[in-house]
Structure 1
Amino acid sequence: MSQTSYDAVIVGAGPAGLTAALYMARFRRQVLVIDGGDSRAAWIPETHNHPGFPEGVSGLDLLELQRRHAVRYGAQIRSGTVDALSSTGEGFSLSIDGETVLSPTVLLACGVEDNEPALPGVERAVRQTLLRTCPICDGFEVIGKRVGVIGGDGLGAREALFLQTYADQLTLIHVGAPDALTADERDQLARADITIVETPIESVELQIDRPRALCFSGASRLEFDALYTALGVTPRTGLALAIGAHHDESSRLVVDEHQQTSIPGLYAAGDMVRGLNQITTAQGEGSIAATAMHNRLRGC
């Protein structure tokens, strides 16, 4: 089995991981990025919320620009899967598709997975902006439209209330148990004039062949110009938890002010750390982590 070593290994090639790779490369460090090919940012058809792109930019284009930037300064990026992460006492050992890679520092930027509704055509609907996942990112784009929010608990209620800034016609499609919404949450929704429709997820229909139109069907029929899914996310923290890193009540990794986990030398950045799920936040955390990793290597 082959074995190589680097100053730093970054697991994840999304906005956080690629930002950290750029910084580490410009710190003149030997850095390897493992790209699992499943960055959540790649699903973004076009964002108008990212600074510096007033005309908007697709997630794929943004990732490609970041990759080119990091590679220009010497970062190595390879496709692969990290099968295991373990501590060696002086650093870490990573098993990557049969190869062992050693590094004194590791940054986990693995992101999260959306808990998608069990509906056909979900990925296509997201890429067409018919089904949206982030009202912070693109609520501005649904101003004045008929908006539905699929939720199974209080998160759905909170997202529907958040969208009041933009949409006047709001409906919470509650697909969870009746008691998953508290009396207080129901009262808040009623005061905000947000309709609650309680139904199983099977009665929600995505009409992908009708641009900008989604449909809910059941005893009655409601059509929406945009539909948000508010079913939460699952952080990809398995590698860190397997070696004892601490996590919070939402299963995200706990880090210090330098993005270091509870395990010295192991850092984390991006959506798997904080619940804001923003590209700019991930990039900022990637730069913080990379600087801390560089200083650790310097003995500071």
Structure 2
Amino acid sequence: MVYDCIIIGGGIAGLQAAIQLGRYQHKVLVLDDAKGRSSMCHCYHNLLGWPDGVSGEKLRSLGKEHALRLGVEFEEQRVETVEGLDGEFCVTTAESHEFSGRKLLLATGIKDNIPPFKGLLPCLGKSIFVCPDCDGYEILDKPALVIGSGNAGASMALTLTYWTEALTFINQGKGEIDAELVEKLVGKGITLVSNEISEIHTDCSALKGVTLDNGERIDCCFAFLAFGGNKPNTDLALQLGVELEANKHILVDPRTKMTSVENVWAAGDITVHSEQAAIAMGDGIQAAIWIHKSLLES
């Protein structure tokens, strides 16, 4: 079987594209390993229609159900290789299954740099955050920690002063901080802690505080992570020779979302640095519209 389009990545962008292509009645396959960042976020707070927030799991579940009703097929498999062959694309998974498609959409997202503290993951999106634009409002006038390293952590702390003045920056890893940033931290009244965290304290999804390596405990109910080094998942794009931006995200046509390789599109966090779920949805539907136009012409 040759699919009209294979979508690699079943997160927010991939699912929205699948729904739109399903509504066009195209034969679509979504390949996803269920390890993307949307599966880790336990609450999106800034999406239209969800004033009380919605989890990534809930969005993904609803999106998949919607797409299945439209005839879209799903396989929970990790893609290892992809190549163009005789005007089609051959996609091979870790399970050695091969799939062929006329068009290809990459929605592989990014991998966040998250420290491996026990109990941290259930708190993501609830009491521990990574995006100030998404979740800065959640700490409005409340004490909060910034758990980060070096300039990335210092910059995050300064950004968060828009919402609260009660900030403590824990320089985990004791990364180097530019003198100019240190001066700004002091000027904003941000407490700078050079001792590292030995343990975080949580109750299910609620942060309770941290213990430092000197034995000191800091009680706090909210934290932001800021280690820098988030990695765009571009391995498959590179196999196809897709052109990347300087920041390693995929370069796409702003109107069509097509990459530099014909019949290969990209959508979502892999293409932009805003890392917003709403933008990923828009990217997905925009890419799908142009994939449909391309299928009509071929």
TM-score, length-scaled by structure 2: 0.91
Moved more, 183-192 or 207-216: 207-216
Deviation at 1:178? 4.7
CA distance in 2, matches of 1:266, 1:260: 6
Aligned to 2:110: 112
CA gap 1:89/1:190 in 2 versus in 1, 3 angstroms: farther
Query: What percent identity do the matched residue pairs reach?
Result: 31
CA distance in 2, matches of 1:48, 1:178: 31
Aligned to 1:187: 183
Alignment of 1:221-236 (within 5 A): 221-232=217-228, 233-236=230-233
Moved more, 219-228 or 102-111: 219-228
Aligned to 2:212: 217
Deviation at 1:15? 0.6
Residue 207 (str. 1) matches residue 201 (str. 2): yes
Residue 58 (str. 1) matches residue 55 (str. 2): yes
Figure out how many residues of one structure are paired with residues of the other and give that number. 293
Alignment of 1:71-220 (within 5 A): 71-96=68-93, 97-126=95-124, 129-179=126-176, 181-200=177-196, 203-209=197-203, 211-219=206-214, 220=216
The 4+ residue runs of structure 1 with deviation greater than 6 A are none
Give the counterpart letter for 1:288 in structure 2.
Q
CA gap 1:11/1:184 in 2 versus in 1, 3 angstroms: same
CA gap 1:54/1:209 in 2 versus in 1, 3 angstroms: closer
TM-score, length-scaled by structure 1: 0.90
Q: Secondary structure at the match of 1:225?
A: coil
Task: For residues 90-128 of structure 1, give each alpha carbon's deviation from its aligned partner in whole angstroms, at most 9, with x where no partner exists.
Answer: 13111133222111211111111111113222223337x
Deviation at 1:177? 4.9
CA distance in 1, matches of 2:179, 2:260: 38
Aligned to 2:24: 27
Q: Contact 1:125/1:206 (CA < 8 Å) preserved in 2?
A: no
Q: Contact 1:21/1:70 (CA < 8 Å) preserved in 2?
A: yes
Coordinate RMSD, CA, aligned? 2.0
Deviation at 1:47? 2.4
Q: Contact 2:47/2:53 (CA < 8 Å) preserved in 1?
A: yes
User: What 5-or-longer segments of structure 2 have no aligned partner?
Assistant: none
CA gap 1:151/1:31 in 2 versus in 1, 3 angstroms: same
Give the counterpart letter for 1:44 in structure 2.
C
User: What 5-or-longer segments of structure 1 have no aligned partner?
Assistant: none
Aligned to 2:288: 290
Q: Contact 1:205/1:217 (CA < 8 Å) preserved in 2?
A: yes
Q: Contact 1:113/1:236 (CA < 8 Å) preserved in 2?
A: yes
Q: Secondary structure at the match of 1:160?
A: helix
Q: Secondary structure at the match of 2:100?
A: strand
CA distance in 2, matches of 1:143, 1:230: 18
Q: Secondary structure at the match of 2:192?
A: strand
Deviation at 1:204? 4.1
Give the counterpart letter for 1:158 in structure 2.
S
Q: Contact 1:49/1:137 (CA < 8 Å) preserved in 2?
A: yes
Residue 267 (str. 1) matches residue 265 (str. 2): yes
CA distance in 2, matches of 1:212, 1:45: 14
